[in-house]
Structure formats: structure tokens, C-alpha cells
Homo-oligomer: A and B are copies of this chain.
Amino acid sequence: MRSVSIHCTSCGQKIESKEAVFRCNICNEPVEFEIEGLKEAKINDGNLLTQTIWERYADFLPFFDKESELSLGEGFTPLTNLKKLSESIGIGDLYIKNESQNPTWSFKDRGTAYGIMHARKLGYKKIGTVSTGNMATSVAAYGAAAKMETFVLVSKNISPEKINPIAIYNPHLIKVEGNYGDLYFESLEIGKDKDIYFINSDVPMRVEGSKTIAFEICEQLNFKMPDYVIVPTSAGGNIRGIEKGFREFKVCGLIDYVPKFICAQASGCSPIYNAFMDGSNAITRVDNPHTIAHAIENPYPPSGNQVLRMLRNNGGIATAVSDYEILKAQALMAEQGIFGQPASAVPLAAVIKLKAEGFLKGNENIVCIATGSGLKYTAALDMQKLYSVECKIEKLIDFISKNY
């Protein structure tokens, strides 16, 4: 058995507890697992048609046992090389890691599955989450699959387009009136009191789940590392997890170096970028956040400070792109065959911006994380220029001859 401990990402204190630990009790910063003996860890080779990501990467996870496993077939998503696009932008290879091919069509399923496994292992009967988007859908779906009581706390003014695809999984769905931003911290208190394991955006098990994205990228690139990995960043759990995954593969010698990370935000809500540019160690809450990339519209990311620390250790940067740049990138990505929700297009928008600004020189190999499906938020398409023409069936052949 490997030894596993949990530490504060800021003050470093080791925390011992039989219950789930989500934040440091001293500095209220996020906590993180540390696994000993990683040098000996290896990938469990197998046929991916009969193996889960949890079985394959079990050596790198704080725990895995087949009995508490929960899987709907999350992970093993494609990494697509967009050759034509990278040529036209003028960079090296440009890859899209397409997380829309998960069971609820976003990256959230990895962390959700792993969080619920942890909850089950600790004996919890109830789980929950605070989200109005991808995470709500994901926790509702996996909670249903696990047959656990599932609490999904959404904002009171959520639209039918967003609430119905959560409600169909039949969780305890509660529209909460009040300051929705406070609910993350409030839910942790409720969870303690009512024995509900809240699998929120940046809980340690979600970070562990996101590591599998890095592991897959390494395999898909035959362990030849890209220069940059760009992650659309909201709460900060996903970028933390992906970076941690690369770091752990380096510890055990599977890769030579960890790619540099680019934390990509929307300019209408960019607390991490703001702090990064100011040289600050701590984020400041954004007033009146507003972006079309709703999935990353978090005005006060609970892992924001840790993302700043991570970026500085990693040598990475933060950037922010406008809604106009995001919509253009969404259309451009669709023209390569990949239709992502606006947040998914943020990394591509960042590539284009960073090339124009001269930060990217022209030969860098880059992996962009496309976090969720374009079908998640089709209202964004009303802001795209979309074309169609009309023709009578009997005129069709003439029409095609003349026009194309």
C-alpha cells in the first residue's frame, strides 16, 4: 500500500482526518493529496475497451479499489491534431483535448466519478454540489448512477435551458435565493452538519480526477511533451489537476519535463489573470462578472491563489480573452470539426492572441483543453454569424450548379 497524506497548498500543514477534508482549517486555502512511492508507479496496460481510467492509472491515485468503483465510461477522450489550423496561425502542432466526449459531455465527469468513489469509501450516503452548469449535470448523473441521495444547489435565476438537463437525472434540485457566490463556503458547512460530501469545483478528489487528462495526453503524444498546455480556468481545480498529473509522471520518469501552463480566462471575469499581472499573491473578487463563457464565470475562484502559486512554480502565465475573441475561436474550432461551448474555445482564442502579441514565436507545440460540448449552451449560437440558403427541390440541381 502506498502512503497517502493531505496537505494545505499554502501553509503546508499535514491534515489528518477520517472525514473528507476540503480546505485548510488554518488558512482556508485548498488542500491537496501527496502520494509517496510514486517513483515506482506505472501505467497498468490493458485493453481500454474493458478497462476504466481508474484501473489504468490506479498507481497514481490516492486510492482505488474495484468494489467502490463508479464509472460511466468517463475519460479516454481524443486528442486531435489540427494541422491546417496550426499552419494558418503559424505555430507548431496544435492539439485539442476534446473533453466533450465524456458521459455528460464535459471534463467534470472525471472528478465527479472519483469524488463519489471517495465519498462511498468514507461511508457517506449523500453527495452534493454547488453549480449551475457542467458540474451540476455531472454530479446529478453520477449521483443517480451511484444511487446516492444527491443535492444540487443552483442559483434561483437559472434558465430552463440549463436546469432541465440537470433535473432529468432527478436529484434533489434546490434553487437557492441569495448571494450565490457565498454558497461554495456555505455548502461545506452544511456538508459537515448533514453528512453530505460536497464535490465542489476544486475539492482534492476532483483535482485527482483531472490528473487523468494529463496522463492521457502523455500517452497520446507518446510521452513527447508539448511546450504549452492551455486550460480555461474558473474555480481552478481542473488546471491544478492537469498540472499535478504531468508533475507526477515526471516524478516516476515517464516524461522528461512538465509543459508550461497557460491559465486562460475571459476578460469579463479574470480574477486570476488580474492578480497574475499585478504580481499579487492573492486574487480579488471581480465585481459584475460578465462573459459569454458562463462555464468559467467565477468571480472569486476558490483555488485562485493556488493557481497563482502553481503558475509561478511552473513558469507558466495567465491570459484573458474577450467575448468577441471567444466567439471567433468557437467558430474557427467548429470549422475544424470540433464544436465546443464558449469556454472550450478560450484556449484557442488565447493561442491566437498570444501569437499576435509575439509571446508565441511560431514553433511551439500546444495542447488546448476543450472542456465541454457546444450543445451545452446553444444560445451562444445566436451571437454567431451562421449561413443558410433556401431553394425549391425542383430547382436544386440548377441552384447547386450556379452557386458552388
Contacts and interface: CB of A to CB of B under 8 A. Distances in A.
Q: Which 9 pairs between the two chains have the least Cβ-Cβ distance? A: A73-B78, A178-B393, A145-B337, A167-B386, A48-B48, A375-B375, A164-B381, A173-B388, A168-B334
Contacts of A103: 78, 98, 100-101, 337-338
Contact of A147 (B84, B104, B163, B170): B84
Count the copies: 2
Contact of A179 (B104, B393, B404): B393
B399 A165 contact: no
A220 B52 CA distance: 12
Interface of A: 45, 47-50, 71-73, 76-80, 84, 98, 100-105, 126, 141-142, 144-145, 147, 149, 151, 153-154, 156, 161, 163-165, 167-170, 172-180, 182-183, 186, 189-190, 193-194, 196, 216, 219-220, 222, 330-331, 334-339, 373-376, 378, 381-382, 384, 386-394, 396-397, 399-401, 404
Nearest to A332: B170
Which of A77, A193, A386 has the most chain B CB atoms inside 10 A of its CB?
A: A386
A292 to B, nearest CB: 14
B164 A386 contact: yes
Contacts of A189: 397
Given A50-B220, A77-B73, A337 B142 contact: yes
Contact of A386 (B142, B168, B373): B168
A44 B261 CA distance: 36
A189 B144 CA distance: 49
B174 A378 contact: no
Given A168-B339, A170-B387, A397 B190 contact: yes
Contacts of A193: 397
A222 B193 CA distance: 45
A175 B381 CA distance: 18
A368 B98 CA distance: 26
Contacts of A190: 396-397, 400
A186 B394 CA distance: 9
A79 to B, nearest CB: 8
29 contacts: A47-B219, A48-B48, A48-B49, A49-B220, A71-B78, A73-B78, A73-B79, A73-B80, A98-B103, A100-B105, A105-B105, A105-B373, A149-B404, A151-B404, A163-B388, A164-B382, A164-B386, A165-B339, A167-B386, A168-B334, A169-B334, A169-B339, A174-B389, A175-B391, A176-B392, A178-B392, A178-B393, A190-B400, A194-B397
Contacts of A141: 334, 337-339
A45 to B, nearest CB: 8
Given A73-B101, A78-B103, A400-B194, A50 B182 contact: no
A267 B180 CA distance: 45
B174 A388 contact: yes
A127 B339 CA distance: 20
